Amino acid sequence: MMFMNIILLYFVGLFMFILSMIFLFNKLNLTIEFIMMNYNSMQLEFLIYLDWVSLMFLSLVLLISSLVLMYSLMYMEGDMNLKRFFILVLMFVLSMIFLIICPNFMGLLLGWDGLGLTSYCLIIYYQNWKSFNSGMVTVLLNRVGDVSIMMIISLCVTLGSWNGLFYEFNFYLLSMLLLLSAITKSAQLPFSVWLPLAMAAPTPVSSLVHSSTLVTAGVYLLIRYNFYLFYNSINDLLLLISSMTMLMSGLMANFENDLKKIIALSTLSQLGLMMSILSLGKIDLSYFHLVIHALFKSLLFLCSGILIHQMLNNQDIRFMGNVMVYYPFVSLIFFISTLSLCGFPFFSGFYSKDLIMEILLMSKMNFLSMLMLFLATLLTVSYSVRLLMVVFLNFSNKFNSFILLNENNLMSISMILLYFSSLMIGYFLFNLFSLEIIILNLQQKTLVLSLCLIGVFFGIFMSKLSLLNWLLNIKIYLMSMWGSSLFYELINFYPLKYSLFMYKMLDKGLMEYMFSYGIKNFLLKMFLKFLVMNFFLYLNLFMMFILLLILLLII
């Protein structure tokens, strides 16, 4: 029954993709409006806005979620709460749909809050302390974005409408709040801490939620409301934030040893790339990279899930090695997805990434941002090559403890479907969009490829490097996200410590003893005294009083 529902979801996704092509070629868009309530000049309405962007994103979410659910049938087999897991994933997909089709800020909040809550429930699915802590960090940092959306709603009351897409509000505070909500959901620099921590979730959740849908919700929001960034020159701020995020995540991933965290940091890097091209106003190009990245990144997570599954739930890449001999099928898919991530020529990632880099070279940009973006590109290639060297080509590793089982057929089918779609989508979309005219000289044109080549050599060097002795202080500093995770620990430590002290002393101590127990004990003591000592005396007096009354009445 569950399998049939997954197949239905897959075909609905395919139908949405065909519909998006029809909308794109005929330049259609469709707006459906349900007015719930009028209040003065404000209308509380539920809007559904369908154009080729929203339909293609819907098809992407439905296709990836159906294939991930198919994969989960085997990956989560034997789990006690499998039904709950599926319900949570479907609730997540539903809130994603609300987010995509609503141009109204009120409808947007419905999907936005739904995403936060269901992702929290999915992160704490394996109920241990690490999951609880990660879930709490995630939900608290995402609340910042939720609150900024609520503040946008209250600001829009003064402006006269909640339809941010159909009106152009030239309002500085609104643009800043919109940027804040987008960078919290897409884990840009001050709020990047939650994305590597969210890897405590099961691997199918990481594949669906933390690579392709939830983290791209902020990018999708800025694609929709892109004109707000240019009214008040907030796009310069966004460029700085995104380029710093790219550089930081690239550096961190080169020193990381956890397989899922490396892939999470690469997601962070690619989100920075999408944001940086959005800050130049290239909406189509950012969306193009979003779609391609979602497909190959979810595929990378599914491959890593199989490896973790077969390695007795071990995620440390230092204990892996020589995987290519044991699992050639998974290795092939992992290789090709990683090459797409690097932007290797004629794989799907190349078409969007190379174009983005060439447009960055053509644009008016300061030297610092340009340097950071190109250094981050080099580091992307570097950590990808390091990952491949350590996990697949490290023949000297003797620690690997494989259960030499074949991969399950259902897992393989879902991965093959995703693999072919991610392989072909780059060339397909590249021919579909009439994008940009590139005018560069030969040196600039080959700059990106030469950077990739340098990155390959740097990655081989990093894979041979022992990080146990030297570079330890640098590693600790880089792993703390340029000190931002340490900063969060500091600002949370003392308030939480003293609030626990107050809770123990006042709430559970003095107040509880004085008021709850004190009043209760006092009343009980009084009542018992009354019962034990005075009950019979009072009863006899009362009976005598009644007898006297009766006698008086008779007389």
pLDDT tens column, 352-362: 888 888 888 88
Judge whether 205 and 89 are in contact, CB under 8 Å.
Answer: yes
Q: Please state, as a whole number, how many other Cβ atoms lie within 10 Å of the Cβ of residue 375.
A: 17
Instruction: Identify the burial level of 273 via C-beta atoms within 10 angstroms of its C-beta, where 0-12 means exposed, 13-18 middle and 19 or more buried.
Output: buried
- DSSP labels for 52-67? HHHHHHHHHHHHHHHH
Q: What's the CA gap between 260 and 316, in Å, rounded?
A: 9
pLDDT tens, position by position, 87-109: 898 899 999 998 898 888 888 88
Q: What's the CA gap between 232 and 247, in Å, rounded?
A: 26
Quote the pLDDT of residue 313. Answer: 79
Domain ranges of the chain: 1-468, 469-506, 509-554
Quote the pLDDT of residue 472. Answer: 66
Tokens 């940086």 found at: 276
pLDDT tens, position by position, 19-69: 999 998 898 888 888 888 887 777 788 888 899 989 999 999 999 899 888
Tokens 């390695």 found at: 311
Q: What's the CA gap between 469 and 438, in Å, rounded?
A: 47
Q: Provide, rounded to the nearest whole percent, the portion of the chain with pLDDT above 90.
A: 3
Quote the pLDDT of residue 479. Answer: 66
Contacts of 480 (CB under 8 A, 6+ apart): 486
pLDDT range class, residue 417, cuts 50, 70, 90: confident
Residue 242 has pLDDT above 80, yes or no: yes
Quote the pLDDT of residue 406. Answer: 67
Quote the pLDDT of residue 59. Answer: 92
Nearest CA to 295 out of 23, 68, 6 is that of 68
Q: What's the CA gap between 388 and 333, in Å, rounded?
A: 12
Which range (239-243, 379-383, 489-493) has the least confidence?
A: 489-493
Dihedral of the alpha carbons of 7, 12, 14, 19, in degrees to the nearest 10: 170
Contacts of 110 (CB under 8 A, 6+ apart): 95, 98, 102
Q: What's the CA gap between 326 and 392, in Å, rounded?
A: 10
Which range (124-138, 353-367, 467-481) has the least confidence?
A: 467-481
pLDDT tens, position by position, 150-192: 998 888 888 777 887 777 777 888 888 888 999 898 888 888 8
Quote the pLDDT of residue 248. Answer: 87
Which range (88-97, 125-134, 306-315, 478-487) has the least confidence?
A: 478-487
Residue 470 has pLDDT above 60, yes or no: no
Higher pLDDT, 319 or 371: 371
Nearest CA to 120 out of 105, 137, 108 is that of 137
C-alpha dist (Å) from residue 163 to 168, 175, 323, 426, 479: 9, 14, 52, 33, 41
Residue 244 has pLDDT above 70, yes or no: yes
Angle between helices 105-123 and 172-185 (to 10 degrees): 20
Q: What's the CA gap between 119 and 124, in Å, rounded?
A: 9
Nearest CA to 239 out of 128, 115, 356 is that of 356
Which range (236-240, 332-336, 489-493) has the least confidence?
A: 489-493
* Mean pLDDT calculated for residue range 234-249: 88
The DSSP element (H or E) to which 490 belongs, if any, is helix 484-502
pLDDT range class, residue 208, cuts 50, 70, 90: confident
Which range (380-394, 452-466, 469-483, 533-547) has the least confidence?
A: 469-483
Q: What's the CA gap between 332 and 411, in Å, rounded?
A: 15
The two tokens of residue 163 are 């339809």
Q: What's the whole-model pTM score?
A: 0.84
pLDDT tens, position by position, 423-440: 888 888 888 776 677 788
The DSSP element (H or E) to which 30 belongs, if any, is strand 30-39
Higher pLDDT, 277 or 170: 277
Q: Please state, as a whole number, how many other Cβ atoms lie within 10 Å of the Cβ of residue 513.
A: 11
Total residue length of the chain:
555
Averaged confidence pLDDT in the chain: 83
Residue 213 has pLDDT above 80, yes or no: yes
Quote the pLDDT of residue 405. Answer: 64
Higher pLDDT, 251 or 232: 251
The two tokens of residue 338 are 């990683």
Residue 489 has pLDDT above 80, yes or no: no
Sign of the C-alpha dihedral computed for residues 207, 208, 211 and 212 taken in this order:
positive
Quote the pLDDT of residue 5. Answer: 84
Higher pLDDT, 197 or 506: 197
Judge whether 220 and 186 are in contact, CB under 8 Å.
Answer: no
Tokens 């990093």 found at: 462
* Mean pLDDT calculated for residue range 456-473: 72
Q: Please state, as a whole number, how many other Cβ atoms lie within 10 Å of the Cβ of residue 410.
A: 16
CA 413, 415, 419: angle at the middle one, nearest 5? 120
pLDDT tens, position by position, 386-406: 888 888 887 666 555 555 666
Quote the pLDDT of residue 127. Answer: 84
pLDDT range class, residue 549, cuts 50, 70, 90: confident
Quote the pLDDT of residue 414. Answer: 83
The DSSP element (H or E) to which 8 belongs, if any, is helix 2-26
Tokens 């690239």 found at: 250
